[in-house]
Amino acid sequence: MQVKTFEEYQQAYTKSVEQPEQFWEEIANHFQWKKKWDKVLEWNFKEPNVKWFQGATLNITENCLDRHLEKNGDTPAIIWEPNDPTEDHRVLTYKQLHDKVCQFANVLKNNGAKKGDRICIYMPMVPELAIAVLACARIGAVHSVVFGGFSAQSIADRIKDAECNIVITADGSYRGTKEVPLKSVIDDALVQCPSIKRVIVLTRSRTPVSMIKGRDVWWEDEIKKVETQGNVECPAEEMDAEDMLFILYTSGSTGKPKGVVHTCGGYMVYTGYTFSNAFQYQPGEIYFCTADIGWITGHSYIAYGPLSQGATVVMFEGIPTWPNAGRFWDIVEKFKVNILYTAPTAIRSLMSFGDDVLKGKDLSSLTKLGSVGEPINEEAWHWFDEKIGHGNCPIVDTWWQTETGGFMISPIAGVTKTKPGYASLPLPGVQPILVDENGKEIEGNGVNGNLCIKFPWPGMLRTTYGDHERCRTTYFTAYENLYFTGDGCLRDEDGYYRITGRVDDVLNVSGHRIGTAEVENAINMHSSVVESAVVGYPHDIKGQGVYAFVVSPGKHGNEELTRKDIIMTVSRIIGPIAKPDKIQFVTGLPKTRSGKIMRRILRKIAEGDTGNLGDTSTLLDPAVVEEIKNGAL
Ligand code: WTA
């Protein structure tokens, strides 16, 4: 399944374009199916309707667990490093992980879970999170993992949208010196969620929690019940290739986050194939992905992709800067990590602490590095290359999205020549195309445009949960017969791709996707706010910061307090990750005569680029621009 040389990559790529069905069929044959497909691919991007491996049945957990047991049952699947370095780490072999997944799958069944049910997971980065995810997949329940940085309101929105009937959570979680009372946040969310019949609570932080009779049960008690029943095995549910595997909510330019739906067969094939190739994973290698399972990176490249390939994955509960900024490097040294996959924002943050924290750390085990989540600036790329990779680890800059399921444009470690800041070339099976505003293809090299994909790949989203029309209008109507990514992109003279960032109203703050409309809605909920406009601005560590222009006549001179109240409101409505970094009070927003906010102007002001604001003559009240410019933070 791995391409080993650049020629092999080119051959694989050509085949994937000329004979996509044969190409993916051969890849799919490397996986374990209960029944093989009747048809490899059926598709159109109009409705859209995309089906891979129709007629096939499988269970992804048999590929991630059972099939490794005979030869590699004692291979570590997960090495878990706790938040507190003085606490013991844990190792789960494939055999142990298999048993725990089966056990918890039986817990889910005992608590009424069935195939097709939606289950919300809100947990810390502990092995039980991976176990919960896989246990859902084992019984054919659809997981909807919500990242720990989201508020009760955001959780409630997601639970209601997916009509979940069970929540899996923990009493609390540790993040550096902070403790987050997860169960208490869930309790607040559930006030709005009558569909939830059961809450399963893992013990982690021993934070006091209120356990509601008849609804809430302890994870540990439920496991004991299963043990006394002697229920260790749990047969894997037979799933159709196109049955739903999970829902993951993500932000777009309008409205509430949408539930991106991935299905069992194609997603399994795609994450396994891309993981194996991009990182050129070899048996025995230790792979450390610093993402949280609450994001797509954790789903695809902590859980499913690596486990389907029998890899050993390091999972980390804490944060890169606690107890100090050397924590990642301690973990690399401790477990002799070979492959480190992290985000530009983490790299920039660690860079800012200077190179002293690197002194005495043995990073010699590293052979491959990876980056994801946002464009990596050249300075960070070089630091990563020189200080962490010592100039001899390829940097795999993986461009992809929640919607794509897996890597799309990425170097293949040791095979593709890398270039700082470039995601480089499309992986086999991926057909990128650049288009101009009118949807006309921009051909040739040395060009810039909007990035689209013109042919389906097995890992792509199938729909947005409960609202297929939204999927169509968000991704498939901007340009006819193309999937539109929302990203701008440059293709240089060598045909190498460099992602330049979002071209829609989506911000990328520390690698987290945040819709400006969502933040505006949250700000506008504050009682003294009339209206607001949110844009991004360049931020040294976060990549982008959140800049809010707020009309609030009622602030009564107490700006500082109002500012804090607004931040609190955003935390409450979305979560701490969406908090504005800057709030500028203004008397009005620049609007066109038809009432549209001219974000272009606000973006320039936020970026500190006020020299040339372009044409402001169409504005309703051009004077407002002067005022905003003068008050810029
Ligand atoms: C951005 C994360 C440049 C991009 C996997 C995309 C990147 C959005 C890269 C998706 C990269 C992700 N280089 N930009 N290597 N990786 N992005 O859904 O703007 O959280 O559209 O998926 O992150 O974010 P998401």
Locate the ligand 1 atom nearest the alpha carbon of residue 250 and give its number.
18
| Ligand 1 midpoint to CA 499 (Å) | 9
Task: Give per-residue pLDDT as tens, 259-292.
Answer: 999 999 999 999 999 999 999 999 999 999 999 9
Q: Could you tell me if residue 51 is inside a domain?
A: yes
Q: Could you tell me if residue 392 is inside a domain?
A: yes
Q: Please check whether residues 455 and 443 belong to one and the same domain.
A: no
Q: Which domain holds residue 616?
A: 507-630
Task: Assign residue 534 the CATH number of its domain.
Answer: 3.30.300.30
Task: Give per-residue pLDDT as tens, 550-579.
Answer: 999 877 678 999 999 999 999 999 999 999
- Ligand 1 pocket, residue 372 CB under 6 Å: yes
Q: Please check whether residues 443 and 566 belong to one and the same domain.
A: no
DSSP string, 335-368: HT-SEEEE-HHHHHHHHTT-GGGGTT---TT--E
Are the C-beta atoms of residues 374 and 345 closer than 8 Å to each other? yes
| pLDDT at residue 615 greater than cutoff 90 | no
| Ligand 1 midpoint to CA 504 (Å) | 13
**How far out from the chain centre does Cα 516 lie?**
18
Task: Give per-residue pLDDT as tens, 402-436.
Answer: 999 999 999 999 999 999 999 999 999 999 999 99
Task: Give per-residue pLDDT as tens, 506-521.
Answer: 999 999 999 999 999 9
Q: Best of 399, 430, 460, 496 to mutate for ligand 1, by most ligand atoms within 8 A of CB?
A: 399
Determine the average pLDDT of the residues in 585-608: 93
pLDDT at 21: 98
Q: Please check whether residues 396 and 514 belong to one and the same domain.
A: no
Task: Give per-residue pLDDT as tens, 237-258.
Answer: 999 999 999 999 999 988 889 9
Q: Report the alpha-carbon distance of residue 380 to residue 212 in Å, rounded.
A: 48
Q: Please check whether residues 497 and 562 belong to one and the same domain.
A: no
Q: Please check whether residues 233 and 324 belong to one and the same domain.
A: yes
Q: Best of 374, 395, 408 to mutate for ligand 1, by most ligand atoms within 8 A of CB?
A: 374
End-to-end CA distance of the chain: 53
pLDDT at 618: 82
Residue 162 identity: A
Burial of 38 (0-12, 13-18, 19+ CB in 10 A): exposed
What are the two backbone dihedrals, phi and then psi, of residue 531, each rounded to the nearest 5 degrees? -160, 170
Task: Give per-residue pLDDT as tens, 207-247.
Answer: 999 999 999 999 999 999 999 988 789 999 999 999 999 99
Locate the ligand 1 atom nearest the alpha carbon of residue 501 and give its number.
19
Task: Give per-residue pLDDT as tens, 16-27.
Answer: 999 999 999 999
Mention every residue, 6+ apart, whose C-beta is less than 8 A from residue 473.
none
DSSP 3-state of 319: coil
- Ligand 1 pocket, residue 375 CB under 6 Å: yes
Tokens in use for 212? 């509601």
Question: Cis omega (within 30 of 0) on the bond before 48?
Answer: yes
- Ligand 1 pocket, residue 463 CB under 6 Å: no
Q: Report the alpha-carbon distance of residue 384 to residue 296 in Å, rounded.
A: 23
Tokens in use for 426? 């499309």
Q: How far is CA 20 from CA 29, 52, 581, in A?
A: 14, 11, 46
Instruction: Tokens 């990642």: give the residue.
Output: 328
Q: Report the alpha-carbon distance of residue 413 to residue 421 in Å, rounded.
A: 15
pLDDT at 379: 97
Task: Assign residue 444 the CATH number of its domain.
Answer: 3.40.50.12780
Q: Please check whether residues 258 and 335 belong to one and the same domain.
A: yes
DSSP 3-state of 27: helix
Which is nearest to 549 in space by CA: 529, 569, 528? 529
Q: Could you tell me if residue 1 is inside a domain?
A: no
Q: Could you tell me if residue 421 is inside a domain?
A: no
| pLDDT at residue 33 greater than cutoff 80 | yes
Q: Which of 478, 502, 526 is the last residue of a domain?
A: 502
Q: Could you tell me if residue 524 is inside a domain?
A: yes
Q: Please check whether residues 231 and 278 belong to one and the same domain.
A: yes
Task: Please state the pTM of the whole predicted model.
Answer: 0.97
Q: Please check whether residues 496 and 536 belong to one and the same domain.
A: no
Question: Cis omega (within 30 of 0) on the bond before 323?
Answer: yes
Determine the average pLDDT of the residues in 298-308: 98
Determine the average pLDDT of the residues in 309-315: 98
Tokens in use for 175? 């993040």
Q: Report the alpha-carbon distance of residue 133 to residue 153 in Å, rounded.
A: 22
Report the percent of the chain where pLDDT is more than 90: 94
* Higher-pLDDT residue of 346, 613: 346
DSSP string, 165-222: -EEEEES-EEETTEEE-HHHHHHHHHTT-TT--EEEEE-SS----PPPTTTEEEHHHH
276-314 burial: b if 16+ Cβ within 10 Å, else e? bbbbbbeeebbbbbbbbbbbbbbbbbbbbbbbbbbbbbb
pLDDT at 619: 87
DSSP summary character for residue 89: P
- Ligand 1 pocket, residue 401 CB under 6 Å: yes
Report the percent of the chain where pLDDT is more than 70: 100
Determine the average pLDDT of the residues in 353-360: 95
pLDDT at 333: 98
- Ligand 1 pocket, residue 542 CB under 6 Å: no
Q: Report helix angle 623-630 to 599-606, nearest 10.
A: 20
Q: Could you tell me if residue 423 is inside a domain?
A: no
| pLDDT at residue 620 greater than cutoff 90 | no
| pLDDT at residue 532 greater than cutoff 90 | yes
| Ligand 1 midpoint to CA 401 (Å) | 5
What is the rounded average pLDDT for all residues in the chain?
Answer: 96
pLDDT-derived band at 495 (thresholds 50, 70, 90) equals very high
Task: Give per-residue pLDDT as tens, 131-163.
Answer: 999 999 999 999 999 999 999 999 999 999 999
Q: Could you tell me if residue 425 is inside a domain?
A: no
Q: Please check whether residues 230 and 336 belong to one and the same domain.
A: yes
Q: Could you tell me if residue 333 is inside a domain?
A: yes
Q: Please check whether residues 488 and 372 belong to one and the same domain.
A: no
Locate the ligand 1 atom nearest the alpha carbon of residue 410 and give its number.
15
Mention every residue, 6+ apart, whose C-beta is less than 8 A from residue 276.
1, 2, 305, 309
Radius of gyration of the chain (CA): 24
Number of domains in the chain: 3
pLDDT at 556: 63
Are the C-beta atoms of residues 512 and 547 closer than 8 Å to each other? no
ipTM: 0.99
Cβ neighbours of 191 (radius 10 Å): 9
Q: Please check whether residues 498 and 511 belong to one and the same domain.
A: no
- Ligand 1 pocket, residue 395 CB under 6 Å: no
Q: Please check whether residues 159 and 300 belong to one and the same domain.
A: yes
User: For residue 181, how many C-alpha atoms fall within 13 Å in the half-sphere facing its CB?
Assistant: 9
